[in-house]
Amino acid sequence: MSHRMTRREFLATSALAGAGLALSRTPLSTAAETPLAVKVSGAGVPGDLSAAVKAALDPLGGIGAFVKKGQTVMLKPNMGFPTPPSQRATTSPELVKAVARLVLEAGAKRVTVIDNPVRRPEACLELVGIKQACEPLGVKTFLPTSEKLFMEKDIPRGVVLKKTDVFREALEVDVHIALPIAKSHMATGYSGTLKGMMGLILDRESFHSRFDINQAIADLNTLLRANLVILDGLSVMTTDGPAGPGELVTCNAIVAGTDPVTVDALGVKLAPLYGRNVKPTQVKHLLAAEKLGLGAISPPAGRILEVTL
C-alpha cells in the first residue's frame, strides 16, 4: 500500500522540513520511518528533471542521506545499447545529469558514470547521450571492457551463481547509485534495477546459456547492492526490449528508494508489458530476490510514498 502526496502537500511538508520541523508521512507507523520507495508522477519536464529528482529524494532524507563530502560515487545507468535516448533502451541523459549535479553539490570528491555495454562501447558513448550530458559537470563516463578491470568474486548466498567477475571500481567506491530504466525484456519480461546489475559484470552470456537467468540475477544482487536506486520511468519500452525499437508508453515517472525489489515492483506496474498488465509477482527474478531477503515486492502499509508534481 502507498500514501499519495500532491505537489501542494509535498511543497508544504518540504517547507516544514526546511524549518527544522518533523516531516510527517501519514500513514507511516511513525514519523521517523523512511519510505522504502518514492514514486514521483508528472516528472517529464523537458530538459530538466531536477525538481522530480529532488521530490523523490527529499522523503528519503535528500541526497545528503546518501552522499557525504569527500566520498567517491559511482552512477550506474543503463548504457548497454548504441541507441538514441528517444528509443528508451537506455537511461535518460537528463536524469543522470540531474543526479550527478546533486551528488556534486553534496560534496562528492569524484563522480563516475559506469556501465559495461552489451554492444559497441564507442558507439554507446556517442549515441546514448549520457557522456555529453555529464561532461560539462566534470563527470566522466566510463564503459569498462578490458578483463583487467574486473576481479573474480565469490557469491556465498548464490543459489546457482557461485562466482563471477565484477568491475573492480564497483566494489571500491564509497557510494553506488543505480540509475536503471524500466523496460520490457525478451528473456525476463521486465528489466530494471535488479537486472541492471548485470552491467557491472564481465560474463553476461552465462546468465543466458548456463543458468536460470532469473535466479542468477537474484544471486548477483546478493553481492551487488546500490545504496540508492533512482529508476527511469519517464517512458517505457513495452515491447521488443531490451534493445528495441519497441512500442513506447509515456509514464512521466521516476521511482527512488533503497529497496531494489520494491522499486522494481513499482517499475513493473508503470505500463503494460507485451500487451498485458504484469503483476510484480509474475516477474521471476523479483520473486527469487524476495526469497533471498533482498527486499519486498509488497512492503508494509505506508512504506511506499507517491508524489504528484
CA–CA gap between residue 191 and residue 193 (Å, rounded): 7
Beta bridge partners of 3: 305
CA–CA gap between residue 272 and residue 154 (Å, rounded): 37
Cβ contact 309:51 at 8 Å: yes
* Residue-wise pLDDT tens digits, 98-110: 999 999 999 999 9
Alpha helices in 106-245 (DSSP H): 121-127, 130-134, 168-172, 193-196, 205-209, 213-220
- Global pTM reads 0.90
Q: Write out the E strands in 19-142.
A: 37-41, 72-77, 110-114, 140-142
Closest by Cα among 112, 95, 139 to 254? 95
* Residue-wise pLDDT tens digits, 15-53: 434 433 233 223 333 345 899 999 999 987 556 799 999
Closest by Cα among 193, 240, 204, 190 to 87? 240
Beta bridge partners of 151: 166
| Domain 34-308 falls under CATH 3.30.70 | no
Quick check: 8 pLDDT over 80?
Answer: no
What is the β-pairing status of strands 37-41 and 248-257? antiparallel
* Residue-wise pLDDT tens digits, 64-120: 999 999 999 999 999 999 999 999 999 999 999 999 999 999 999 999 999 999 989
CA–CA gap between residue 163 and residue 173 (Å, rounded): 20
Closest by Cα among 173, 175, 190, 188 to 231? 190
